[in-house]
Amino acid sequence: MKSQLEQMRRTAAEKIAGASGIAELEALRIAYLGKKGELTAILKQMGSLSAEERPIMGQLANEVRAGIEALIAQQFEKFKEKEKAERLVSETIDVTLPGKSVALGHRHPLSIVLNEVIDIFLGMGFKVASGPEVELDYYNFEALNIPEGHPARDTQDTFYITDNVLLRTQTSPVQIRYMEQNKPPIRIIAPGRVYRSDAVDATHSPLFHQIEGLVVDKGVTMGDLKAGLEAIAKGLFGNETRIRLRPHHFPFTEPSCEVDVSCFRCGGKGCPMCKGEGWIEILGAGMVHPKVLQNGGIDPDEYSGYAFGVGLERITMFRFQIDDMRLLYENDVRFLSQF
């Protein structure tokens, strides 16, 4: 038994010294010191020894075990140091090399124009108001003088969640909510997403953006509306821009008008953009209907106001001469990088 232990010690030392890596070391440890290893097999012979030989062989077996464990631990540390050195070499970073440039994004054309519009109105003393996109039928239609069955609802077919809850078709509900909570004088714009059940094409989308404005005070007239619209047009399209008001009908304003701007490409002479007319329709406006003021909690005998609404996509397309609305939503970097 003694010779077996000595032989195992020599053989183990040779194999440990010649191990190629940590995995082989672990295999040798199990082979010699594991529950089914060589040392365990030798110790099973202890029962055949005399009482005097057992303590001697037991002590020798412990020395062999301790020696093998020490050799494995030493070799393990060597492998760890070697692995660390190799990683330091392979993972070395040359800090003197120039860094990789990171592509920076920029504002979307819709955001560019929206920010410009907001800046124009802030300069005119307006505030920016917002409201829920999931709206009640009352605020989206009823309070705006569009009762159930009114023909105007047919042109604003939208997405209903329940009979009384829908995705808003315009940002006009923000005006009602604001009037309910604030006393005149009121000067606000309400930009935001709106939804209508329109088929997608070059000029329509089921999701688009509106910017609506509302002014309520004592003595507000159509002349104030015209002056405000001129300031907006000049701010967006240049100081040479002129506007034209044409009679129209909206349920929530009376009188109402469609607003055209002189073509900013040809200056009003006529070109393909304005279809030879020299004018481009851009928004709708009018004096706030007395019933709408009443629904907002404001006395129409004491106060008057004007309102207007414009599609953000429409003025963005005019501003950047884009001929297809879908380009604004397809996220094609080749297109967006132009702006």
In the block, residue with structure tokens 């950047």: 320
d(CA 215, CA 143): 17
User: To the nearest 10°, the Cα dihedral for 227, 229, 230, 235?
Assistant: 130
The radius of gyration computed from the CA coordinates of the chain, to the nearest angstrom, equals 41
d(CA 80, CA 186): 75
d(CA 314, CA 311): 5
The CATH homologous superfamily for domain 109-336 is: Bira Bifunctional Protein; Domain 2 (3.30.930.10)
Say if residue 77's pLDDT is above 90.
Answer: no
Provide CB contacts within 8 A for 80, sequence distance 6+. Answer: 22
In the block, residue with structure tokens 């009376």: 254
What is the reported pLDDT for 46? 67
Mean predicted confidence (pLDDT) in 216-233: 91
Helix, strand, coil abundance in the chain, percent, nearest 5: 45, 20, 35
Closest CA to 184 of 216, 208, 155: 216
> Contact, 167 vs 161, CB < 8 A?
yes
Say if residue 255's pLDDT is above 80.
Answer: yes
> Contact, 280 vs 261, CB < 8 A?
yes
Query: For the chain, what are the domain ranges?
Result: 2-90, 109-336
Q: What is the DSSP letter of 155?
A: G
Q: Give the Å distances, CA to CA, from 219 to 184, 304, 326.
A: 12, 6, 43
> Contact, 126 vs 234, CB < 8 A?
no
Say which residue, 300 or 231, is predicted with more confidence.
300
Say if residue 78's pLDDT is above 70.
Answer: yes
What is the reported pLDDT for 172? 93
Mean predicted confidence (pLDDT) in 34-63: 71
